[in-house]
Structures are given as structure tokens and as C-alpha cells.
């Protein structure tokens, strides 16, 4: 019988770099980004609905479970209004930061489409190639690699608030 051997990969610098490069393309990154954006309209909608007795805490816990994979125990009705009220400012900052940060990636990779014809004052200028390289590398690729970690940090704060107010 053939035995399958599992090889333990050493955590070298190359492995860590590969994990960082691959992070923007994982499902967890995009699920966290979706939660960062969807938490704002859900919390805004839950404020008036909770006043009328809707089970908003359950909806908010389901949103956390679906997109962040965290299970928050709690009663069916308790905590919906306080969480919606107190988390809305955080959700606003998180949604804005997430949308703006991810929008920087295509805006900088496609910089020549919006740049105009004068590159002398552009960062990386005065040549077209230098300006595009600067925007593509620092703005496009740099934010592509940075945003998963920003989203992960912001959603960790959102999850901490949800756990404290919904459980």
C-alpha cells in the first residue's frame, strides 16, 4: 500500500512573500471586503426595523456568520438596536476605506486613461513611462497587496464590536 507523505513546508521568506502576494486573490479577502461594505446598509436599515420589533440581531449575526465565518451566540431578539446604532459610524468608516482602497487599484493601473497629455508634473514624470510605472507599481500593485490586510484589520474591529453587542 502506498503511503502518502505530507511534506512540511518551512516558513521561509519566499513562502511568506508568496502568501502575501496570493492574499488579494483568496475568497476570504473578498468575503471580508463584502462584509466591510454590506455592514453599513444593513446597520442603517436595522435601526428603524429594530424599533418596530424586527429580529435585527439575528440578521446581523447571520451577516457576520456568512461573510466573516464567525458564529456569535445570542438570543433571537436581543442586541439588534444597540449594535445597529453603535456600529454605524464604524461601518461608515470601514465601507468608505474599503471602497476607496480597492478603487485605487484599477484607477492607478489604468492611469494613462485618465492622465491627460501633460506628464511633467505627474508623480514619476516627466515621461509617460515613468509616470505610468510609478502609478502602476505604487498605487496599483501596492494597494492590491495592502488592501487585504487593511480589510482584515477593519473587519476584525467590526467583529469585536458585533461580538460584544450581539451576544
Per the model's pLDDT, the better-predicted residue between 118 and 45 turns out to be: 45
Q: Say what the pLDDT of residue 150 is.
A: 93
pLDDT band at 83 (very low <50, low <70, confident <90, very high): confident
Write out pLDDT tens, residues 59-82: 899 999 999 988 888 765 566 888
The answer to pTM > 0.75 is yes
Q: State the average pLDDT over residues 114-124.
A: 68
Q: Is 115 exposed, middle or buried (0-12, 13-18, 19+ CB in 10 A)?
A: middle
Q: What is the pLDDT of residue 3?
A: 60
Which one, of 81, 56, 70, lies nearest residue 158 by Cα?
70
- What residues does each domain of the chain span? 24-166
Percentage of the residues of the chain whose pLDDT score is greater than 70: 85
pLDDT at site 5: 66
Amino acid at each position: 500500500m502506498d503511503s502518502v507523505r505530507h511534506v512540511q513546508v518551512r516558513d521561509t521568506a519566499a513562502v511568506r512573500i508568496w502568501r502575501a502576494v496570493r492574499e488579494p486573490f483568496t475568497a476570504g479577502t473578498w468575503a471580508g471586503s463584502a462584509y466591510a461594505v454590506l455592514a453599513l446598509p444593513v446597520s442603517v436599515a436595522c435601526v428603524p426595523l429594530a424599533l418596530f420589533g424586527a429580529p435585527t440581531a439575528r440578521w446581523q449575526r447571520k451577516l457576520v456568520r456568512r461573510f466573516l465565518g464567525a458564529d456569535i451566540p445570542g438570543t433571537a431578539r436581543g442586541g439588534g438596536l444597540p449594535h445597529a446604532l453603535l456600529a454605524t459610524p464604524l461601518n461608515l468608516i470601514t465601507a468608505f476605506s474599503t471602497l476607496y482602497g480597492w478603487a485605487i487599484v484599477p484607477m492607478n493601473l489604468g492611469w494613462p486613461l485618465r492622465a491627460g497629455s501633460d506628464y511633467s508634473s505627474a508623480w514619476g514624470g516627466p515621461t509617460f513611462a515613468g509616470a505610468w510605472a510609478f502609478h502602476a507599481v505604487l498605487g496599483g500593485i501596492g494597494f492590491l497587496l495592502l488592501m487585504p490586510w487593511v480589510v482584515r484589520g477593519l473587519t476584525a474591529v467590526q467583529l469585536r464590536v458585533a461580538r460584544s453587542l450581539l451576544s
